Structure 1
Amino acid sequence: MKAVFKTFFILLLLSAIAVGGYGYIEYEKFTKQTVSESAPKSFLIAKGSSIKRVALELEKQDIIKPAWQFQVLAKITKQDTKIKAGEFPLEAGMTAQQVLDRFTSGKTISYNSSIIEGYTYKDLVKNIKADPNLVQTLTDEDYADIMTKIGSKFKKPEGWFFPDTYNYPRGTTDLEFLKRSHAAMVKYLNTEWEGRDPSVPLKSPYEALILASIVEKETGVPEERPFIAQVFHNRLRKGMMLQTDPTVIYSMGDRFKGNIRKSDLRRKHPFNTYTRTGLTPTPIATPSAEAIDAVLHPEDTKALYFVARGDGTSQFSNSYRDHKRAVVKYQLRGNAKAYQGDK
């Protein structure tokens, strides 16, 4: 009986050794396995995913398998509870350990979208709707009431979204994107307002945003922004009309086809700064950080007028007489008889 038991024990021991050896060989094969060229280039981990769910999905997509060994690896390395959510890039040749390390690093694939300075809210909406990287959730009705949707205390959306290129993970919605941009504008504007030049004749951050939008649309070369801003400050102090074409264009909306007629300049409209004094009711576009800075930290100049020279720069004048001469020289090619400003 003892001999039989001894023989059985030896056979059992040999079987265990054989199984263990086989398991070791298989695990070695698993650890040397690499992501193939034909495998997906990215892997998405949903929020709240367990290591089991991740391992099964890796096996299903033929990226790393078998699933149970990936789970074992994660437990051995104590990474089973450290995986992050998001979309992770994968490269051919990565080992199972490298894939696991990638999932616990938090270095996900980032997408980006831009808001361009000088765009109107209408332009901005058009761009967002056409953006393939954002999850589209907003309707036309939502966009019409976007300030309520994003939880803003401000009523009109024009000018309230900070122009920048934003990076974000896969799955970001259009609403989330706009909330982030609006928060950035509010923060930047309020911060700059607190450090403004005390001589600036504006009553609130919103007035600064409005004027910055006008400066943005009037500026041909960046370095002139602070000078243009000061021209408008000087006119506001004197109670002069701003008389700036971009406000007329904004008031025309879809009627604008590239030209401003005399009748357009005379048309009574809340945004027409040729027929009324002061600022427009709202911004007329999205101002850049530089335009906001220019309005709150203008250059010291007594100029009340400026006219485009035709090369992107402007000719600044302190008096109407000098301005008239500049218009004749740069806009009318010396033909004084064609000047219409006094009519």
Structure 2
Amino acid sequence: MRRKIQGRSFFSQKKTWGRRLRSYLLVLIGALVFIYGGIFLWPVVPSQTNTQEALLYKVKISPQSSLGSIAQQLQEQGLSTPVLPFQVSARALFVGSKLKPGTYLLPTGASLGKILLQIARGDRVRESIAIIPGMTIWQLRALVDSHPALIHQTKGISSKALLQSLNLTYPGDEGIFFPDTYVFDPDEPDINIYRRASVAMQKQLLQAWDQKDPGSPLKTPYELLILSSIIEKETGRSSDRGLVAAVFLNRLNQGMKLQTDPTVIYGIGKGFDGNLRKADLRKDSPYNTYMNKGLPPTPIAMPSKESLMAAVRPAQSKALYFVAKGDGTSHFSQTLGEHESAVDRYQRKLAPKSK
């Protein structure tokens, strides 16, 4: 009889624990529903916007911010994000260590859960600036100085000061920034654009230098940069790039003057009015390659990767002259007589002389 009572007591106790476990699970599920429901139903973004977009609210999160710091930053910018609920919600969604800095456009009236997931994805505002092949340094400086999304730390500083800020020792700042589109966060210091572009150019320059023909007259990577910039300015169509390079390299090998207009124009500077006169060709200047042999002292523009490669791997040609044909291409000649005939035909529009 005693064993039977004990048996009933055991099974009764098991049923009691089962009921308690189910109750605990229901409470836990209810709590989770309440927490997650609150995270995704509790609006934290104001309905009034601080941007021109009617349905978006702009906020910024600083780099290397902790969860508590992010919550405080968002509060200071008008969001309802108390630190403790923010931290608990971020960890409940498993994004506590994934929140990324940057500028965000948040939907007005959005819940805490929605903005946490957006910030964890890094779905933020991005800006860009494009350095175009053939652009000069003063054009680039003006472009960077006028970009509204950059913090202008370099505006008005000298070329020497800019190079010092970048820890570079080039003779000048012309040609040392690689043409490309650079994407950045709003309110980024402009020096970062110059730094990224100079690092990219150094990488491309050294890669090209490693492929240089041993017989090339170019003695240093900087000379390669100078010649590439001239090729960039002299090439009307990309298919001519290798032949343009060949002409200049042939002239350097033979000790001839380069006699290229873009270097003279660069020497005139910002005051060039678009009309290159004979008097300009007779003015002595380090950039006047009609009067001086060899390369000018610095690049004259930002060369593309294609121009860098053309300077180290030119077309196989003995041409020493070329003239623009008027359609973007050039006519290449090995002799002065052939060149003068091409000038008559394409520049002076004279009929070919009868033999």
TM over 0.5, shorter chain: yes
Indicate yes or no: 2:144 matched with 1:128. Answer: yes
Q: Which moved more, 1:25-34 or 1:142-151?
A: 25-34
Structure 1 residues 67, 210: CA separation in 2 closer, same or farther (over 3 Å shift)? same
Superposition deviation, residue 78 in structure 1: 4.2
Q: Which moved more, 1:202-211 or 1:166-175?
A: 166-175
Contact 1:142 1:149 in 2 (8 A): no
Amino acid at match of 2:60: L
Task: Trace 1:199-218 onto structure 2 (pairs within 5 A).
Answer: 199-218=215-234
Residues 269-304 of structure 1: CA deviation (Å, up to 9, x unaligned): 111010111111111111111111111111111111
Contact 1:248 1:273 in 2 (8 A): yes
Structure 1 residues 247, 48: CA separation in 2 closer, same or farther (over 3 Å shift)? closer
Residues 80-132 of structure 1: CA deviation (Å, up to 9, x unaligned): 34423222343468543232122233443321111121121111111111111
Contact 2:247 2:318 in 1 (8 A): yes
Provide the rounded CA distance (Å) in 2 between the counterparts of 1:23 and 1:106: 26
| One of 40, 46, 52 as aligned partner of 1:31 | 40
Task: State the SS of the aligned residue for 1:44.
Answer: strand
Structure 1 residues 306, 206: CA separation in 2 closer, same or farther (over 3 Å shift)? same
Q: Which moved more, 1:229-238 or 1:152-161?
A: 152-161
Contact 1:64 1:70 in 2 (8 A): no
Structure 1 residues 106, 248: CA separation in 2 closer, same or farther (over 3 Å shift)? same
Structure 1 residues 29, 97: CA separation in 2 closer, same or farther (over 3 Å shift)? closer
Superposition deviation, residue 186 in structure 1: 0.8
Partner of 2:255: 239
Percent of residue pairs identical: 39
Partner of 1:49: 65
Indicate yes or no: 2:311 matched with 1:302. Answer: no
Contact 1:27 1:69 in 2 (8 A): no
Structure 1 residues 117, 27: CA separation in 2 closer, same or farther (over 3 Å shift)? closer
Superposition deviation, residue 194 in structure 1: 0.5
Residues 302-332 of structure 1: CA deviation (Å, up to 9, x unaligned): 1111001111111111110010000001111
Provide the rounded CA distance (Å) in 2 between the counterparts of 1:193 and 1:65: 55
| One of 331, 334, 340 as aligned partner of 2:350 | 334
Q: Which runs of 5+ in 1 are unaligned?
A: 1-20, 338-343
Q: Which runs of 5+ in 2 are unaligned?
A: 1-29, 50-55
Provide the rounded CA distance (Å) in 2 between the counterparts of 1:144 and 1:116: 23
Partner of 1:10: none
Residues 45-103 of structure 1: CA deviation (Å, up to 9, x unaligned): 12343333433554565656666533332233343344232223434685432321222
Task: State the SS of the aligned residue for 2:157.
Answer: helix
Partner of 2:189: 173
Contact 2:177 2:201 in 1 (8 A): yes
Task: Trace 1:222-261 onto structure 2 (pairs within 5 A).
Answer: 222-261=238-277
Task: State the SS of the aligned residue for 1:307.
Answer: strand
Superposition deviation, residue 184 in structure 1: 0.8
| TM norm structure 2 | 0.80
Structure 1 residues 28, 140: CA separation in 2 closer, same or farther (over 3 Å shift)? closer
Indicate yes or no: 2:177 matched with 1:161. Answer: yes
Task: State the SS of the aligned residue for 2:201.
Answer: helix
Q: Which moved more, 1:228-237 or 1:47-56?
A: 47-56
CA RMSD, aligned part only?
3.0
Structure 1 residues 31, 209: CA separation in 2 closer, same or farther (over 3 Å shift)? same
| TM norm structure 1 | 0.83
Task: Trace 1:64-83 onto structure 2 (pairs within 5 A).
Answer: 68-83=84-99
| One of 104, 111, 114 as aligned partner of 1:88 | 104
Superposition deviation, residue 143 in structure 1: 3.9
Partner of 1:149: 165
Amino acid at match of 1:140: G
Task: Trace 1:2-21 onto structure 2 (pairs within 5 A).
Answer: none
Indicate yes or no: 2:277 matched with 1:268. Answer: no
Tell me how many residue pairs correspond in the alignment. Answer: 320
| One of 294, 308, 314 as aligned partner of 1:278 | 294
Contact 1:58 1:67 in 2 (8 A): no
Amino acid at match of 1:320: L
Task: State the SS of the aligned residue for 2:327.
Answer: coil
Contact 2:152 2:190 in 1 (8 A): yes
Structure 1 residues 209, 59: CA separation in 2 closer, same or farther (over 3 Å shift)? closer
Superposition deviation, residue 176 in structure 1: 1.5
Provide the rounded CA distance (Å) in 2 between the counterparts of 1:129 and 1:68: 42
Task: State the SS of the aligned residue for 1:52.
Answer: helix
Provide the rounded CA distance (Å) in 2 between the counterparts of 1:23 and 1:195: 63
Structure 1 residues 312, 152: CA separation in 2 closer, same or farther (over 3 Å shift)? same
Task: State the SS of the aligned residue for 1:324.
Answer: helix
Structure 1 residues 336, 42: CA separation in 2 closer, same or farther (over 3 Å shift)? same
Superposition deviation, residue 26 in structure 1: 8.1
Task: State the SS of the aligned residue for 2:90.
Answer: helix
Superposition deviation, residue 197 in structure 1: 3.0
Superposition deviation, residue 221 in structure 1: 0.7
